[in-house]
Amino acid sequence: MTTINTARFVLDPTSERNPSQRQILARPSSLKGLTVGLLDISKARGDVFLDQLERRLIGVGASVKRFRKPTFTKPAPVDLRHEIAISCNVVIEALAD
């Protein structure tokens, strides 16, 4: 009999020397009526992907707020992370590699 491991791991690419333990939050059953934050990390063409995603999210009844990191080479500034945390129910980060 084969067992399948259903554990989920999220690795933090900023430092794995002392990985922190975080609980994965439950996904909402619907995005209708929620505010979805779209975070552009400032890589080329990430905005193209987010433009398409924004249209689809609005189509299912979500409100959308757009955010942009100053540079993709560093984590988002604390004030930007705070603004996203207090104004959004869900966040999607775009990476266009």
pLDDT at 85: 95
Q: Is residue 24 in some structural domain?
A: no
β-pair type (35-40, 90-94): parallel
pLDDT at 23: 80
pLDDT at 8: 65
41: how many CB neighbours lie within 10 A of its CB? 19
The parent domain of residue 55 ranges over 35-94
pLDDT at 45: 82
If one counts the domains in the chain, the total is: 1
Q: Is residue 2 in some structural domain?
A: no
- Say what the pTM is: 0.74
Q: Is residue 23 in some structural domain?
A: no
Q: Is residue 63 in some structural domain?
A: yes
Q: Is residue 84 in some structural domain?
A: yes
Q: Give the Cα separation of 86 and 89 in Å (integer).
A: 8
Contact 35, 88 (CB under 8 A): yes
Q: Give the Cα separation of 71 and 49 in Å (integer).
A: 17
Q: Is residue 61 in some structural domain?
A: yes
Q: Is residue 3 in some structural domain?
A: no
Q: Is residue 67 in some structural domain?
A: yes
